[in-house]
Amino acid sequence: SQWGEENLQALSIQEGEDVTMNCSYKTYTTVVQWYRQKSGKGPALIILIRSNEREKRSGRLRATLDTSSQSSSLSITGTLATDTAVYFCATDANQGGRALIFGTGTTVSVSP
Amino acid sequence: GALVYQYPRRTICKSGTSMRMECQAVGFQATSVAWYRQSPQKTFELIALSTVNSAIKYEQNFTQEKFPISHPNLSFSSMTVLNAYLEDRGLYLCGALTGGNYEQYFGPGTRLTVL
């Protein structure tokens, strides 16, 4: 899980397996965004779920959102080696201009 | 497509000196640019949010006196780290937003090493 965790969580799995990672956030947010950061690159948005949605799918990705518990999850089905990355959830920073507060990240290593 | 470039990619400076980093948006209008610092442990700190024609909003623990930002047009932003010390080390990322969209487009970052 992200947030409230001091250590970066790391998961090692085999190609083809499914993986789910969780994040909890502290304050109201209009959207929860999930970003993927590959080695040597900046984060890239992979899926966004709005506060009025409970589930969002995009290809092999599935995001859920529970606003009552202020938590979100990201699932990847049928992982590929190319899914190896650090995954971050992000919420509004209340800056009015949509800066982000990132979670602590989950490192996912997928072996071929 | 939307691309964000950052340069330099890596820089080393002596303790107490300053360095400037740049962020360039290509293919879209960067109405807002957020600057972040990422630690070696991958955690992010939001430094500030800059919106064209608006005041720059700095997060707690970050000041304009230490991290002055310029955002003169819809494609360019720069930030300077003044009087850099060891605690300023990290990967500095800019995330650019356009209009009312939520998605931020990130550059690859400028890695700052302070000796």
Q: Which residues of A touch B90 (CB under 8 A)?
A: none
For residues A35 and B105, is the Cβ–Cβ distance under 8 A? no
Q: Which residues of B touch A31 (CB under 8 A)?
A: 102
Q: Residue A7's pLDDT is what? A: 41
- At B7-62, the pLDDT tens digits run 999 999 999 999 999 999 999 999 999 999 999 888 999 999 999 888 899 999 99
What domains can be seen in chain B, in order of their start residue?
A: 3-114 (2.60.40.10)
What domains can be seen in chain A, in order of their start residue?
A: 9-111 (2.60.40.10)
Report percent pLDDT > 70 for chain A: 89
The distance from CA A92 to its chain's CA centroid, rounded to whole angstroms, is 14
What tokens appear for A83 in the block?
Answer: 């899914």
Give A110→chain B minimum CA distance, Å: 19
Contacts of A58 by beta carbon, 8 Å cutoff, 6+ apart: A46, A47
Number of residues assigned to chain A: 112
Nearest CA in chain A to B58: A95
